[in-house]
Every structure is written in structure tokens, then in C-alpha cells.
Structure 1
Amino acid sequence: MPPKARAAGKGKAPAKRKLAEEFPPGEILTDTAKKSWKLGAPIGQGGFGLLYLASDDASKAVGADAPYVVKVEPSDNGPLFSELKFYMRAAKPELIGAWIKSRKLKYLGVPKYWGSGLHEKGGKRYRFMVMDRFGTDLQKKFEQGGKRFPRKLVLQLGLKLLDILEYIHAHEYVHADIKASNLLLSHKNPNQVYLVDYGLAYRFSPDGVPKEYKEDPKRCHDGTIEFTSIDAHKGVTPSRRGDLEILGYCMIQWLCGRLPWEDKLQDPVYVRDSKLRCRDNIRDFMKSCFTTGSEPGEMAKFMEEVKSLGYTDKPDYQKLRGTLLQGLKSIGATDDDKLDFSVSVNGASPSAAKVRPLKMRPLQPSVICLPVESGFEFKNACTRSKTNCAG
């Protein structure tokens, strides 16, 4: 049977994963640069590890205002190791700072990597990574707002994510799991948003050589099923166009509340085929999400631009920004760097249609992929658990 879909941002660790044991406040971890980090209270738990408040001042207790978090998991688990490879290559503070300066940005929503290492306790080994501390995630905000974001806010989020994606793509990586639960507000500035959780991040172009397009049944449906790209449904390794496709699905869901294939998330083949139909007829896709006459034109243009990209093509990020900026202009708004989640702000969401499933016409025959066990876990959209970095 096809895998059962999980709700966004939720999940459990596969049984074969070991869970991290809780450390007492005051535990000292030493990273590979011999810098000490003092743990405070645990503030979150993912499927495989724990998050702790942390400080680089070991002389006093870690307070509630601690600026860092430490993610800890047993060393023989895989998710944090995968994230670390991305952070160590692409998220060092000096790299991010240089990009911000060269692009004249106010900030970049990529978490900074501050250190990592191994820690032994009770005869067990743990891997840890030190990151910035963040606030609440956007999935909570989305649900609190009745599963709607104002149109102005959605376009602003899209612009911030284009900045983020251009940066990580320029550093040879794609994210592959963009969604509201992986977008966190800054702990100190609620008008800044960060893309977190690089457990599925993929180095699509090592040393500048792009990966070739190749469908693989063992990889089918990786990611979060309601948002994952058509390529991922076919088992193709993640790409830049896939990240932008996922972003498009997110923005449309934030505007209308529900994507047309959310009625059968337990059936990944149905979800894949629905997305194929939406890509083939973007106008009908918009009509299935919004009431007649209220379709946001910028979203259709955005999806058309993504549709035009080849697997190895470099996206025209500036053109995509221009499309979203034109959407802001059409509602008399600008990107004023203020993220207002209230539905009464200027440029509220277009009236959402009662989202209807697309009519199912026969597609060309293709491989139907069932989950295939690989290593410790089943490789499908539904087995990854999430770690919330909220403080």
C-alpha cells in the first residue's frame, strides 16, 4: 500500500533510530575548534534529537534569553550529519556576511553555523551543532490565522525566500523541504524569517558539475508530500527548479488555505498526477484554488516561469522577484520589511474558492513507486520527523 501521509511539521522517528537522552542544565560541550558551549533547558524535541538553549559563556547559568541553541542526537543517527555538511560548507557567518554585503541585503534568512562536535556521556557518543536561536514557526501562525495569510505577507515571504534560495543555490545546494513549519521568525526581530532544517538539503552541483536527470523508484516522493516537487515524485534528485516549484505550492496554499490534492495525501501517486495536471494547465490550477476573478495573477506568472525551467537551468531570480513585486504593486503595497500576519492588513488574501480536486484524466503510463527500505528508514515523504527550533 502507498505510505500514509503525515501532517506538515509532525512525525515520529522510525523505530530503528536511537533517541537522544536528555542532558542536565549546565552540561559543557566542546566543539571541534575547542570552544565550550554550556547547555541550558531543553526547548524542543525532534524525532531523533533534542534542542537546548545554549551560551558560549560557561561561567554562569544559561538564562531564558540565551542567543544560541544546540541540536544533539546520537552519533550513529543520520539527519544531523546530513545537515552539518550543508552548514559547514555554506552557512559559516563570514560567508553569509559577505553575501549580505555584496547583495546589499538587510539580512539573509539562513541560520548561521557556530560550531559542532562530538560529546561522550555515559559511554555513549553524541553529535551536536550550535545554531542561532529562533522564535515561532510559520505553521503555527498559519493555523492561528485560520489557515490564511494576507496576500501582502505571502508576497513578502516569497521575496525573502527567493533571497535565501539564490544564496544556497549559489553554494551548490538545494533545500528540498520548504514549508511553513521550516520557516522560523527571528528570536529578536519578528519581522525576519529564516529557512531551517537542512536534513534533506542536497548538493546538486558538486564543484560546479550539475547532477544529471535520472528517475529512481527508490527515491520516489521524498520530501513533504503536499509540497514536494514533481521531480521528487519521480525519484529525481532535487534541483533548483524543484525548490521554486515547492515555494510556489507553499505560497498558493498560504493564500487559499488548501491545495487541490490535499484530499488524498495518503496516495502519493494521486498527488503526483494532480500536480502534473496543474503544471499542464496553470490557469485551471488557479481556478481550482480561488474564486473566479480573484486569482492572483502573479502566482500564475510565477508558476509559468518555474514550468519553463529545465532540470539544470539556473533560475532568473530577479525576474521572479519582479513578478512578486508587481503583485505587491497591484494591491497598492510595498515590501516595507514588516511581516503583518493579521488578515485585515492591506492586500488581504484573495477570496478562496472551495478547493476542488482536479478532474482525473489519464496520464502517460509511469512507474508507480512504493516505499523502499534504505538503511535505517523508509525513503518516502512520510517518515522524516521534524525538529522545531522555536525557543
Structure 2
Amino acid sequence: MSFHFCPKCGTKLQPDFLFCPSCGEKLPAPAAAGPNLSSSKDTDSPERPTCAPVCARPPLGKTRKSFRLDREVDVSATQAASNNPTDNCAVTPGKQQAVTFNLSEALGRPAASPSPSKSPARAKAKALRHAGKQAEEGSKPSDKAAKTEEPPLLRRSAASPPAYASPKGKAKKAKRLFAVEPLEVGEEVTDTIGRKWKLEKLLGHHMTELLYKVDQASSRSRESDHVLKLGAKDGRIFNELNFLQRAAKPAMVHKWKKRKNMSFLGIPSCFGFGLHSDSYRFLIFPDMGRSLQSVIKEEECLSETDVLHLACSILDVLEYLHSNEYVHADIRAENVYIKPQSQVYLTGYCHSFRYRPCGQHVQYHEASRTPHEGAVEFISLDAHKGAAPSRRSDLQTLGYCMLRWHTGPLPWSDLTRPESVAAQKQRYLEDVPALLLHCFGRKKVSTAFEAYLTKAAALQYSEEPDYGALKAGLSAALLQLGGAMEQPLSF
């Protein structure tokens, strides 16, 4: 029996079919389509009848299995016959000649090279899928490409990376600052154990925290001996509360003072805490006196005796913090308070960091935290680079504060860009005598300051400082100037 094939889909047909049973296409008349294709057994005919080239069967719809195949696909031998006009003969399905072509070239697109991390089959399947989409959409650009394209003015040049950016990762974005709206004087807040506190006076207003003088509502005393620190519920005040509950319990502080034979340690004791209006968090502290910042505003520069006295007191606090696996990371005049009895408190633990959890010191990784976090004038070089603060960070920051309190502005105090400040600190960290000459000017350079700053600059990231030697050098200089830790400050 003779057979012929559908010119549309290539399905084998019987001679009496008028329509293709597969695609439904109407078949051409015998005169137009030419004589039927003879089978392979008809070899007696003296001459072969000519026939029109058979159209290639279009590829079927892609399936998940077909994506694993090679991009080079087989095409019917009729294309080879059309390219060779001398071979005008009937072709049977069993004798088709394989012709290959590249799908990417047929679609007018360069072939995509597969990623070395992916298998060849997946890379080829992805290229086929992408080529099919582009063939349907034409030259219309994708919305995703339009959205991800960065404007020329916002593109970052590869030749100018950001200062102190880690080569192994991106620096973290700056954390969100939670602004706090002041509460009305006279409003009452309730702590976690039910005590009510009445706001008497606003003492200080910062963008992220407020300080009030408060009195217990049930107390008949007119004198207010407590202060309330107010911040956003989800702000940094929660970090301070966590530190106070973990490392500054009154029993722990008392045990440390007994061990070190100390009568006073400037760690504030949290008297109470709670939430207010579901958007505020507050801490209650005993009255700690006057802030050092208010003193500096009046006197501008402190005497060397007073600065050495303050440094020795703060060193005692830092040794306690570091022994309990924490660093302060925000030493500045706003966080130092002095009572009339010359008791020096170090407050403001919103930036405190646990540098040695479970006894294991954190590793040094630049850009692991937000760069330039804290008071830019006083933070350490590690903080500028986005590394986690360590014990040497606190000691270097204390050295900058000592210079600022005694000599006035630092070499970088007038700079506005944090990157410029970090560059100046890097320069003077490698040349401490030059820093002292710049700060002291024509005055005689303090040998105690020079010795302290040199030791602080030489510390390694995870090295434990010799607190005894540091304090001994400052105390000896204080005695030479006629001062003593038991004597009151001059202000």
C-alpha cells in the first residue's frame, strides 16, 4: 500500500485521506501534491517520479524532560534536500538525513555560556527557556531589566570603592533611628512592679532619648531623687536594659567592689523599668548628679588633675565591664556624671556590646557592623571600619576623651565626613607624639597622656589590657600634680 505524508505536520497518511487526522489540515489534490511516495520495495520502475520537498515537522511543545537535551536539535532531511537541488527524490522516514543547527543562532541571539557552577543540562534548559521567551516578546525589553538598571548618577565606580569597605562582603546599612516625642510634664508612667512615677522636669532632650527628673507618685517628699530615661520601645534603650539585667546587677557590682577592696564603683543601678503607651520604654535610675558635658560647656577645658582623676575612675568601670564580657563603646562627656562627693558614674549603655560571649572573643571582621557608629569624634578606628568593638576600642576612645577634655578640639573635630575623621585617626594612631604635639601646642606635653595613648595604640584587637599598669601610670601623675583620688574635683 502506498503512503504519503502531511506537508504540515509530517504524519503518515493513506492515499484516500482528504484531511490530516493529526493537525486537521486539508490535504492538497493529487495533481498539486504530485505522485504518491513509493515504498522502499518499489525498485522496478525505470525512472523515479519527482516530488515536492517535504516540509519539516515543527518541534513539539517543550516538556520538563526535553529541557535536558542538547541545544542542537535534529531537523528533517528535507532541508538538506532543499539546499541540494540535484537530489530531487522521494525521502522515506527510515532514510531521513540528520541536519543540525544552533537554536540561539536561529533566533538571532548569541548563545549563552552556562555557568561553571551549574550542570550542562540545566544551563542548556535555561538557555532554551530564555530564547523562547525572547522569541515571543520580540525586541521588547523586560520590565525586570528596566527596574534593575541603575541610573548613571547612582552607579558606584569600581575604581573608587567606599572607604574601609570589606572586600569579602558589603557593609551593613545604618540602623534606623527611632525619634522620641517628649511627654508632658506631670504625666505618670508605671513600671513593671506597679509603681507610678510622675514626670517633674525635662533634664535633657536627644533625638533618640529623653531624660526626666521624676518622683514616685505615692511619695510625700517634694525632693526628686530619681531620673527617668525615656526611649522608643524598639530603640537602643532595649540594649541598655539587656546589659543592666545581665552584667550590672547590684549583687554583681557589690561582689566586685568587695573583691577589689573598693568603696565605690561608677556603675548605675537600675531602680525600675517598664513600657508606656505601647511605644515608649523607660528606665529609672537614682540621681547621679551633674553631667560632665554641662561642666565642659562652662569651663571649656579641664585641668590635668581633674582629667587624670576622671580617667582613673572610668578605668575602674571599664575593667569591671570587660571582665563581664562587655564593652561600653560610647564613652563621651554626655555619658559621664559627677556627684558632689566626686563620685564619677559612667552611663549610656545603649551601644554596649558583648565582645566575648561564652568566653570566646569575637573575630575581627570589617564591615560586620554599621561603620562610623557612635560619636564620630571619639569612636575608635575599629568602629569606623565597621568591626565589632573590643577592649582596645574603649581604651582608645578614653584617650581621645582625655585629650578633648584637657586640650580642647582634636585634629579631626571640625571635619564633617566620617571617612576623613577615620583617615586622621589612622594617621595619628601610628604617630602618637605628633597627635600630642598638635593637641598641646606650645604647652608641655603630659608624659602620663603620652604613656597611656602609646599603650592603648599598641594593643591588639583581642589582647587583654593591663588595667593595673594603666591606672598606676595615671595615678602616679595625679600624685605628682598634688592630687589624689580621695580629693574632690575642682568643679
Letter in 1 for 2:487: D
Letter in 2 for 1:158: A
The match for 1:283 among 433, 443, 446 is: 433
Q: Which residue of 1 aligns with 2:361?
A: 210
Write the distance in 2 (CA, Å) between the matches of 1:16 and 1:106: 38
Greater CA deviation, 288-297 or 19-28?
Answer: 19-28
1:320 aligns with 2:466: no
Asked if the contact 1:39/1:52 (under 8 Å) is kept, the reply is no
Q: Which residue of 2 aligns with 1:22?
A: 183
Deviations 1:305-328 (A, max 9, x none): 112211111111000001101222
> Where do 5+ consecutive residues of structure 1 fail to align?
3-13, 342-391
Letter in 2 for 1:38: W
Letter in 2 for 1:36: R
| Cα distance change of structure 1 residues 102 and 16 upon mapping to structure 2, 3 Å threshold | closer
Q: Which residue of 2 aligns with 1:240?
A: 391
SS of the residue 2:364 aligns to: coil
Q: Which residue of 1 aligns with 2:229?
A: 71
The match for 1:141 among 284, 295, 300 is: 295
Q: Which residue of 2 aligns with 1:331?
A: 481
| Cα distance change of structure 1 residues 49 and 252 upon mapping to structure 2, 3 Å threshold | closer
Following superposition, the deviation at residue 301 of structure 1 comes to 0.6
Write the distance in 2 (CA, Å) between the matches of 1:196 and 1:306: 22
| Cα distance change of structure 1 residues 234 and 84 upon mapping to structure 2, 3 Å threshold | same
Q: Which residue of 2 aligns with 1:80?
A: 237
Following superposition, the deviation at residue 198 of structure 1 comes to 0.9
Asked if the contact 2:179/2:207 (under 8 Å) is kept, the reply is no
Q: Which residue of 2 aligns with 1:115?
A: 272
Report the number of matched residues.
Answer: 319
1:153-232 mapped onto 2 (5 Å cutoff): 153-186=306-339, 189-216=340-367, 219-232=370-383
Write the distance in 2 (CA, Å) between the matches of 1:102 and 1:37: 36
Moved over 6 A (4+): none
SS of the residue 1:134 aligns to: coil
Following superposition, the deviation at residue 302 of structure 1 comes to 0.4
Greater CA deviation, 310-319 or 36-45?
Answer: 36-45
SS of the residue 1:250 aligns to: helix
SS of the residue 1:140 aligns to: helix
Write the distance in 2 (CA, Å) between the matches of 1:53 and 1:261: 35
Following superposition, the deviation at residue 118 of structure 1 comes to 2.6
Deviations 1:9-41 (A, max 9, x none): xxxxx997352452563625131xx25132231
1:48 aligns with 2:208: yes
SS of the residue 1:38 aligns to: strand
Deviations 1:324-379 (A, max 9, x none): 012223324333331113xxxxxxxxxxxxxxxxxxxxxxxxxxxxxxxxxxxxxx
Asked if the contact 1:53/1:62 (under 8 Å) is kept, the reply is no
Asked if the contact 2:191/2:272 (under 8 Å) is kept, the reply is no
Letter in 2 for 1:19: V
SS of the residue 2:459 aligns to: coil
Q: Which residue of 2 aligns with 1:300?
A: 450
RMSD: 2.5
Write the distance in 2 (CA, Å) between the matches of 1:39 and 1:272: 44
Write the distance in 2 (CA, Å) between the matches of 1:169 and 1:202: 10
| Cα distance change of structure 1 residues 70 and 292 upon mapping to structure 2, 3 Å threshold | closer
| Cα distance change of structure 1 residues 294 and 198 upon mapping to structure 2, 3 Å threshold | same
The match for 2:260 among 103, 114, 120 is: 103
Asked if the contact 2:209/2:232 (under 8 Å) is kept, the reply is yes
| Cα distance change of structure 1 residues 238 and 277 upon mapping to structure 2, 3 Å threshold | same
Q: Which residue of 2 aligns with 1:260?
A: 411
Letter in 1 for 2:391: R
Which structure is larger by alpha-carbon Rg, 1 or 2? 2
| Cα distance change of structure 1 residues 227 and 73 upon mapping to structure 2, 3 Å threshold | closer
| Cα distance change of structure 1 residues 91 and 217 upon mapping to structure 2, 3 Å threshold | closer
Write the distance in 2 (CA, Å) between the matches of 1:39 and 1:251: 37
Following superposition, the deviation at residue 237 of structure 1 comes to 0.7
Greater CA deviation, 292-301 or 153-162?
Answer: 292-301
Greater CA deviation, 95-104 or 81-90?
Answer: 95-104
> Where do 5+ consecutive residues of structure 2 fail to align?
1-153, 155-161, 163-174
Write the distance in 1 (CA, Å) between the matches of 2:425 and 2:381: 7
Letter in 1 for 2:198: L
Letter in 2 for 1:51: L
Following superposition, the deviation at residue 293 of structure 1 comes to 6.4
Asked if the contact 1:42/1:50 (under 8 Å) is kept, the reply is no
Letter in 1 for 2:226: Y
Asked if the contact 2:185/2:202 (under 8 Å) is kept, the reply is no
| Cα distance change of structure 1 residues 171 and 288 upon mapping to structure 2, 3 Å threshold | same
